[in-house]
Amino acid sequence: MKKRFKKIIEPRLQLKFAAAFAATAGLAVIVQSVVLNNAINELTPYLPHDRLILAERAPAVLGKSLLITFALMLPLSVTCGVIMSFRLTGPVFAFKRFLQRVISGEQREPCRIRAKDELQELCELLNQVTEPQREKLEEPEAERRAA
């Protein structure tokens, strides 16, 4: 198959994947803040002299570290979401193009997607469903070659 130059081929679907990964990263940061805050609050009473300093400075330090964590995780998780979506959105894009070409009478060959892509069974099913129509396209071609 040809190499694809368009990186985001199904923007709506791929951005939904990216948003889901970004939301997961955001939730992880929130959970991390709750766990760290709880741990610091549990340790604070055991500090003989510095408990007030820790209680006063901990929120700012935690906030800064969590913002840094989220700033690093957001682009990584969005990139991961887009990359993970390729194995699904690539076939969806190929199926749309395949069906449009079958409808317009341009598609004679069966549907093919990359071996590592998801939805292989759907590709086979599309081939079975469109085979009669694709065979009709081959008949006039065969008659022209015979004449």
Q: Convert 128-147 to b/e letters by CB count within 10 Å (16 or more is b).
A: eebeeebeeeeeeeeeeeee
* pLDDT for residue 8: 80
Task: Name the stretches of the chain with pLDDT < 70.
Answer: 1-6, 139-147
Calpha distance 41→46 (Å, rounded): 10
- pTM of structure: 0.64
